[in-house]
Amino acid sequence: MDFHLKLVVPSDPRFLSIARKVVSEVSAICGLPDEACQGITLALDEAVANVIRHAYKNRYDQEIELDCQVNAERIVFRLLDEGEPPDPARICAQPLNDVSLSGRGTHLMRTIMDEMSYKQTSGKNELRLVKNLPRAQVNTAGG
Amino acid sequence: MQRTMAASTRSAGEITIVDLVGQIDLGSSPALRKTLLNSLKTTNHMAINLGGVSYIDSSGIASLIEVLKEAQDTKKRLVLFGVAGAVLQVLQLTRLTGVFEIAQTEEQVLHG
């Protein structure tokens, strides 16, 4: 079963819980177990938080578009924003051999998701996060 | 499931226990950091109960690390307990389970 869902949230940390809820439910609809749903939720939360902090420099009055495209093989999440482009060096995951206070979010995204990529699309920053689905996982039950 | 984060503090002998509930994310982690650092000022041994935390992200983890560093710099003891579920998952993914002192239960904190 293929479906497409799009959500636009303010770049305000108060709305992170809404984005998490949507991502969690999408993951569950796809038939993923709880632990996987939690992981994907964490990855997307980290991504949205990074947009708020780095792309929008903690401006809470901007918009973040969360796009979810699901088919039988994968969930493709795209985050789009109109903030500052990321520093390519910062997209690199934090080495985990110390206790520095930054960079773990990117590491979590790379560890949890199967694919992670960035590009610019029509003047917007686009972060693409993909989770592959085990075969025949999407819940096809109606209602 | 409690959505917002809440913190309360109590004492058990020489140990200050901070009980956390709810979800810790970019919105609530600054308050968490402030609460924990303030509590640490008044004790030599602090235990953080994460049993009521249903969600934590890297900003919450960063707050815990900052408090840990402050504890180490001031030669105070910091222990986490009630670490399970989503909290344990994040600590494992970020390979921090060996960085913090983690107890299984409050009983172990008090008498271990």
Query: How much is the pLDDT for A143?
Result: 42
Nearest Cα of chain A lies from the Cα of B21 at a distance, in angstroms, of: 15
Q: Dihedral angle at the C-alpha atoms of B88, B100, B13, B5, nearest 10 degrees?
A: -50
**pLDDT greater than 70 at residue A28:** yes
Neighbour-count burial for A20-44, b at 16+ CB within 10 Å, e otherwise: bebbbebbbbbebeeebbbbbbbbb
Query: How much is the pLDDT for A1?
Result: 75
The DSSP symbol for A14 reads G
Q: Give the lowest-confidence range in A59-68, A107-116, A129-138.
A: A129-138
Q: What radius of gyration do chain A's Cα atoms show? A: 15
Q: Give the lowest-confidence range in A63-67, A87-91, A116-120.
A: A87-91
pLDDT classification of A87: cutoffs 50, 70, 90 = confident
How many CA atoms lie within 13 Å of B36's alpha carbon, on the beta-carbon side? 31
Positive or negative torsion for Cα B7, B9, B10, B15: positive
pTM for the model: 0.91
Q: Which chain B residue's Cα is nearest to A104?
A: B58
**In a mutagenesis test of the A interface, which of B57, B90, B96 is the best target, namely the one with the most A β-carbons within 10 Å?**
B57
Closest CB to A96 among B27, B59, B94: B94
**pLDDT greater than 60 at residue A46:** yes
Domains and CATH numbers, chain B: 6-111 (3.30.750.24)
Between residues A100 and B53, the one the model is more confident about = B53
| A85's tokens | 């482009």
Closest CB to A46 among B57, B89, B96: B57
Nearest Cα of chain B lies from the Cα of A120 at a distance, in angstroms, of: 25
**pLDDT greater than 60 at residue A93:** no
The DSSP symbol for A13 reads G
Please answer yes or no on whether B86 and A112 come within 8 Å at the CB atom: no
Closest CB to A16 among B27, B66, B89: B27
Rounded CA-CA distance B93/A108 in Å is 7
Nearest Cα of chain B lies from the Cα of A20 at a distance, in angstroms, of: 10
Query: What's the whole-number mean pLDDT along residues A112-132?
Result: 95
**Structural domain spans, chain A:** 3-132
- Three-class DSSP labels, A56-84: CCCCCCCEEEEEEEECCCEEEEEEEECCC
Which residue carries 């670490």 as its tokens? Answer: B83
Query: What's the whole-number mean pLDDT along residues A31-60?
Result: 96
pLDDT classification of A86: cutoffs 50, 70, 90 = confident
| A88's tokens | 């390519």
Q: Give the lowest-confidence range in A18-32, A36-50, A75-89.
A: A75-89
Closest CA to A114 of A96, A133, A127, A95: A133
| Chain B contact set for A49 (CB, 8 A) | 25-26, 57-59
Full pLDDT tens readout for chain B, 112 residues: 566 899 999 999 999 999 999 999 999 999 999 999 999 999 999 999 999 999 999 999 999 999 999 999 999 999 999 999 999 999 999 999 999 999 999 999 999 7
CATH class of A3-132: alpha beta
Query: How much is the pLDDT for B1?
Result: 59
Nearest Cα of chain B lies from the Cα of A25 at a distance, in angstroms, of: 15
Please answer yes or no on whether A42 and B57 come within 8 Å at the CB atom: yes
What's the burial of A138, exposed, middle or buried (CB within 10 Å: 0-12/13-18/19+)? middle
Percentage above 90 pLDDT, chain A: 77
Query: How much is the pLDDT for A42?
Result: 97
